[in-house]
């Protein structure tokens, strides 16, 4: 019984010695017990399916990898056993075994294995896989395992403890001397009560996980063992995984025998001084494709995969895209290269990026995306210079790559155009209102629909327009006062149904900005009281039936002049009396009679005048209709005022209260 007594006394009442790194057990944060993990495993490992099961292995392997990346371990043994156990054994410092001051009779190791969110931040490591689902802690693995054994070799002594479903089966015991061993071994079997009777580790998956770790940290050797009855071509019985070539070797393996655009892949790595981040990358391009996809991107932070990408991937894309564009410029191909987007650069690429960060933050439902903004800067800065040099060093190869990427960009633009043309011609087949003079161009980009009052103004506008990009729809008389009309009445109104047909949209919740047939909708009415009334009715209609069109900044007012002033060969236009008087005073100071004519309406203007003053994008001024935030709340009142008795006041109200951005388009 003497031995048992000794074991029980191991931590009784003692503070325990501080470890070499300055760690003391007091640093461990104790938050809560493990029951919540067994009650709601999904909250901790994202489910109880096969993916979640493998997450347990990932967690244990990540802990060992942390120790290796921090430089305390260089060997990890992974063993997959026939009975559902897996073990991970590293030669690091060993989990601390000294007594925890708060728990006197408990070892730090027991606290780490039975307490949520303990461990990690006190470990003195520059990089750790903490954050999100990753780094949930080995206590979660413990809670969800029907058996978990831990062995720690520290200070020439071997310690051992066994757990079941998170509860220790006995105290931490000294089991003997280990003069040559150091490190931590965790052997566990996931609980079938949680994962189901048939849940099993998939050997090929576990092997692939272990192997990618060896590629991601060239300072580690992973020795793999797999029970003979589980072994296959994708999970050998034994393997030594050590890749001094790092990510470049990884990428070469992914490419296999595929022919690449450049002879050499582009790879490199940098390490910031003082452990302030490190990055390693490898990229190559191929036309051969990868299964379903043209290319692939794999990214990692602290050796943890980030399948949803994130800031480190964004940094890589930015560096490659900017680098290629700059190279194109120096090669005199700037014009063609202007079309290159990051997607064009990455589409035919196999790209790998691995970063090491002190405080990784993972985002998203499954915590599979890296969020640290500094990672984008780190990677872009790290990659850009070497990429420029790589391109410059082999101009022939760089040329090939540039052509490869430009062709993708041009192909993408071609496809987009085709799609747009077919969409437009499908639209054309829809019956358009007979009085619409549509534009002939197929692209929506740059196209405009002028809404004009009456057939005579419509006639002038049709002659004055650029028929390739400008369409004209004459509206007869005053359009229905929609603010007060019932939906039924609106639906039966001929002017409005023509307008909707021409626009290619429906009203209310069925409105879809995507189907709008023109880039700009321009209300063009006479510069008088009646014109103002019609403009206000139309704005009210758009505001009521499709506010999103206004929000998108797609509704405009044309600003036709009211007066024409001429003297000798000089001609100016004035939009109102005040403008006229100002021009008379400032511009027409010479001798001779100034001729002033007042336009009664757009229909009175010569087509050339209308074009120059109101329609030609090169010379006209448009007012974009926008509603200020305040105006939105006031919208009900605004519409009432607009629809009130005195049209003069209404127009004034629009000019004063709706925010107008005057744009020279
Ligand atoms: C906490 C503190 C220290 C090391 C570890 C945890 C540690 C955890 C695992 C998990 C698997 N292998 C591990 N190796 C180490 C620092 C201990 C010290 O300062 O000596």
pLDDT at 578 over 50: yes
Q: What's the mean pLDDT in 192-206?
A: 95
Q: Which tens digits make up the pLDDT trace of 234-269?
A: 999 999 999 999 999 999 999 999 999 999 999 999
- Report the pLDDT value the prediction gives residue 191, as an integer from 0 to 100: 97
Is 497's C-beta closer than 6 angstroms to any atom of ligand 1?
A: no
- Report the pLDDT value the prediction gives residue 485, as an integer from 0 to 100: 67
Q: Which tens digits make up the pLDDT trace of 527-569?
A: 877 787 888 888 888 888 898 998 888 998 888 888 999 988 8
Site to probe by mutation for ligand 1, drawn from 75, 96, 222 as the one with most ligand atoms within 8 Å of Cβ, is 96
Is the pLDDT higher at 508 or at 322? 322
Question: Options 3.20.20.140, 2.160.10.10, 3.90.580.10, 3.40.50.670; which CATH number does 443-560 get?
Answer: 3.40.50.670
- What pTM value is reported for the model? 0.63
pLDDT at 17 over 50: no
pLDDT at 651 over 60: no
- Report the pLDDT value the prediction gives residue 324, as an integer from 0 to 100: 96
Site to probe by mutation for ligand 1, drawn from 17, 21, 63, 121 as the one with most ligand atoms within 8 Å of Cβ, is 63
Residue nearest to atom 14 of ligand 1 (CA): 94
Calculated CA dihedral for residues 42, 44, 48, 49, nearest 10 degrees: 110
Q: Which of 453, 498, 572, 612 is catalytic?
A: 453
Residue nearest to atom 3 of ligand 1 (CA): 123
Q: Which atom of ligand 1 is nearest to the CA of 90?
A: 12
Q: Is 528 a catalytic residue?
A: yes
Q: What's the mean pLDDT in 591-598?
A: 87
Q: Which two tokens stand for residue 284?
A: 């190559």
Is 92's C-beta closer than 6 angstroms to any atom of ligand 1?
A: yes
Q: Which of 49, 81, 397, 528 is catalytic?
A: 528
Domain residue spans of the chain: 37-241, 247-412, 443-560, 565-598
Q: Which tens digits make up the pLDDT trace of 356-392?
A: 998 899 988 778 899 999 999 999 999 999 999 999 9
The alpha carbon of 94 and the centre of ligand 1 are apart by a number of angstroms equal to: 5
Q: Which atom of ligand 1 is nearest to the CA of 23?
A: 19
Closest CA to 460 of 474, 442, 475: 474
At 361, phi and psi to the nearest 5?
A: -125, 125
495 pLDDT band, cuts 50/70/90, is: confident
The alpha carbon of 124 and the centre of ligand 1 are apart by a number of angstroms equal to: 9
End-to-end CA distance of the chain: 95
Which residue in this structure is represented by tokens 């750790």?
Answer: 128
The alpha carbon of 96 and the centre of ligand 1 are apart by a number of angstroms equal to: 6
Helix H, strand E, coil C: the string for 479-513 is CCCCCCCCHHHHHHCHHHHHHHHHHCCCCHHHCCH
| CATH number belonging to domain 247-412 | 3.30.230.10
User: What is the DSSP pairing of strand 75-80 with strand 221-226?
Assistant: parallel
Is 90's C-beta closer than 6 angstroms to any atom of ligand 1?
A: yes
Is 388's C-beta closer than 6 angstroms to any atom of ligand 1?
A: no
Provide the 8-state DSSP code for 26. G
Q: What's the mean pLDDT in 563-590?
A: 86
- Gap between the Cα atoms of 592 and 538, Å rounded: 43
**Cα atoms in the Cβ-side hemisphere of radius 13 Å centred on 497:** 10
Site to probe by mutation for ligand 1, drawn from 20, 92, 112, 113 as the one with most ligand atoms within 8 Å of Cβ, is 92
Q: Which tens digits make up the pLDDT trace of 345-359?
A: 999 999 999 999 988
Q: Is 329 a catalytic residue?
A: no
Is 23's C-beta closer than 6 angstroms to any atom of ligand 1?
A: yes
The alpha carbon of 67 and the centre of ligand 1 are apart by a number of angstroms equal to: 7
Q: What's the mean pLDDT in 507-531?
A: 89
The alpha carbon of 1 and the centre of ligand 1 are apart by a number of angstroms equal to: 32
| CATH number belonging to domain 37-241 | 3.30.565.10
Provide the 8-state DSSP code for 25. G
Q: Which tens digits make up the pLDDT trace of 395-412?
A: 999 999 999 999 999 999
The alpha carbon of 80 and the centre of ligand 1 are apart by a number of angstroms equal to: 23
Site to probe by mutation for ligand 1, drawn from 95, 121, 157 as the one with most ligand atoms within 8 Å of Cβ, is 95
Q: Which atom of ligand 1 is nearest to the CA of 60?
A: 11
Residue nearest to atom 8 of ligand 1 (CA): 95
Q: Is 551 a catalytic residue?
A: no
- Gap between the Cα atoms of 159 and 72, Å rounded: 19
Q: In whole numbers, what is the pLDDT of the chain averaged over residues?
A: 84
User: What is the DSSP pairing of strand 622-626 with strand 183-190?
Assistant: unpaired
If 0-12 CB within 10 Å is exposed, 13-18 middle and 19+ buried, where does residue 50 land?
middle
Is the pLDDT higher at 493 or at 632? 493
Percent of the chain scored above 70 by pLDDT? 83
Asked which of 333-347, 521-535, 625-639 is least confident by mean pLDDT, the reply is: 625-639
CA 278 to mean position of chain CA atoms: 23
- Report the pLDDT value the prediction gives residue 16, as an integer from 0 to 100: 36
Q: Is 253 a catalytic residue?
A: no
Site to probe by mutation for ligand 1, drawn from 22, 56, 67, 137 as the one with most ligand atoms within 8 Å of Cβ, is 67
Q: Which tens digits make up the pLDDT trace of 167-196?
A: 999 999 999 999 999 999 999 999 999 999
Is 95's C-beta closer than 6 angstroms to any atom of ligand 1?
A: yes
Is the pLDDT higher at 202 or at 576? 202
CA distance to 482, 485, 580, per residue, from 488 (Å): 11, 8, 45
Asked which of 98-102, 239-243, 484-488 is least confident by mean pLDDT, the reply is: 484-488
Residue nearest to atom 2 of ligand 1 (CA): 123
442 pLDDT band, cuts 50/70/90, is: confident
Is 63's C-beta closer than 6 angstroms to any atom of ligand 1?
A: yes
Is 119's C-beta closer than 6 angstroms to any atom of ligand 1?
A: yes
pLDDT at 645 over 70: no
Q: Which tens digits make up the pLDDT trace of 308-324?
A: 999 999 999 999 999 99
Q: What's the mean pLDDT in 450-478?
A: 90
Q: DSSP states of 289-331 as a string?
A: -BTTBS-EEEEEETTEE-TT-BHHHHHHHHHHHHHHHHHHHHT
Is 184's C-beta closer than 6 angstroms to any atom of ligand 1?
A: yes
Residue nearest to atom 19 of ligand 1 (CA): 21
Q: Which of 388, 526, 572, 612 is catalytic?
A: 526
Q: Which atom of ligand 1 is nearest to the CA of 108?
A: 1
- Report the pLDDT value the prediction gives residue 109, as an integer from 0 to 100: 94
Is 69's C-beta closer than 6 angstroms to any atom of ligand 1?
A: no
Q: DSSP states of 100-140 as a string?
A: PTTTTTSBHHHHHHHSTT-SSTTS--S----STTTT--HHH
Residue nearest to atom 17 of ligand 1 (CA): 96
């Amino acid at each position: 019984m003497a031995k048992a007594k000794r074991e029980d006394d191991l931590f009784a009442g003692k503070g325990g010695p501080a470890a070499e790194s300055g760690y003391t057990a007091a640093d461990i944060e104790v938050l809560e017990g493990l029951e919540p993990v067994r009650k709601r495993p999904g909250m901790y490992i994202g489910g109880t399916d096969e993916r979640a099961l493998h997450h347990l292995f990932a967690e244990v392997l990540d802990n060992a990898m942390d120790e290796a990346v921090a430089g305390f371990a260089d060997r990890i043994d992974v063993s997959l056993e026939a009975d559902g156990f897996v073990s991970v054994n590293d030669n690091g410092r060993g989990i601390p075994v000294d007594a925890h001051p708060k728990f006197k009779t408990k070892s730090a190791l027991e606290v780490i294995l039975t307490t949520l969110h303990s461990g990690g931040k006190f470990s003195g490591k520059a990089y750790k896989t903490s954050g999100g689902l990753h780094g949930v802690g080995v206590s979660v693995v413990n809670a969800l395992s029907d058996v978990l054994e831990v062995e720690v070799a520290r200070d020439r002594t071997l310690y051992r403890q066994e757990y079941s479903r998170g509860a220790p089966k006995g105290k931490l015991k000294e089991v003997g001397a280990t003069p040559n061993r150091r490190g931590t071994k965790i052997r566990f079997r996931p609980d079938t009560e949680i994962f189901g009777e048939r849940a099993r580790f998939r050997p090929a998956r576990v092997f692939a996980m272990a192997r990618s770790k060896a590629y991601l940290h060239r300072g580690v050797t992973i020795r793999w063992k797999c029970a003979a009855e589980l072994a296959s071509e994708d999970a050998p019985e034994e393997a030594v995984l050590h890749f001094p070539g790092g990510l470049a070797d990884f990428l070469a393996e992914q490419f296999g025998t595929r022919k690449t655009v450049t002879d050499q892949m582009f790879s490199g790595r940098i390490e910031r001084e003082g452990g302030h981040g490190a990055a390693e990358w490898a990229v190559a391009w191929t036309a051969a494709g990868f299964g379903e996809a043209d290319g692939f991107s794999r990214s990692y932070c602290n050796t943890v995969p980030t399948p949803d990408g994130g800031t480190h991937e964004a940094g890589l894309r930015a560096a490659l895209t900017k680098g290629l564009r700059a190279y194109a410029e120096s090669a005199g191909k700037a014009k063609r290269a202007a079309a290159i987007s990051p997607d064009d650069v990455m589409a035919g690429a196999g790209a790998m990026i691995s970063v090491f960060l002190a405080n990784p933050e993972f985002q998203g439902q499954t915590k599979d995306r890296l969020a640290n903004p500094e990672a984008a800067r780190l990677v872009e800065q790290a990659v850009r210079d070497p990429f420029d040099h790589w391109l410059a060093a082999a101009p022939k190869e760089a040329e090939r790559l540039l052509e490869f990427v430009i062709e993708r960009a041009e192909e993408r633009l071609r496809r987009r155009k085709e799609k747009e043309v077919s969409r437009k011609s499908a639209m054309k087949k829809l019956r358009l209102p007979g009085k619409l003079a549509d534009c002939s161009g197929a692209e929506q980009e740059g196209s405009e629909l002028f809404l004009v009052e009456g057939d005579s103004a419509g006639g002038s506008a049709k002659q004055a327009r650029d028929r390739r990009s400008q369409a004209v729809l004459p509206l007869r008389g005053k359009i229905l006062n929609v603010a007060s009309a019932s939906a039924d009445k609106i639906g039966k109104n001929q002017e409005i149904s023509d307008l909707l047909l021409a626009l290619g949209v429906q009203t209310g919740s069925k409105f879809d900005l995507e189907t709008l047939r023109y880039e700009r909708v321009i209300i063009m009415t006479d510069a008088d009281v009646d014109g103002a009334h019609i403009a206000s009715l139309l704005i009210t209609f758009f505001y009521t039936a499709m506010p999103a069109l206004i929000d998108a900044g797609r509704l405009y007012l044309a600003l036709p002049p009211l007066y024409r002033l001429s003297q000798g060969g000089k001609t100016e236009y004035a939009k109102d009396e005040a403008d006229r008087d100002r021009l008379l005073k400032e511009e027409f100071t010479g001798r001779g009679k100034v001729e002033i004519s007042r336009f009664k309406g757009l229909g009175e203007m010569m087509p050339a005048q209308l074009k120059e003053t109101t329609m030609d994008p090169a010379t006209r001024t448009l007012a974009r209709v926008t509603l200020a935030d305040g105006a939105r709340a006031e919208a009900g009142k605004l519409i009432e005022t607009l629809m009130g008795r005195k049209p003069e006041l209404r127009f004034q109200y629009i000019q004063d209260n709706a925010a107008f951005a005057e744009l020279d388009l």
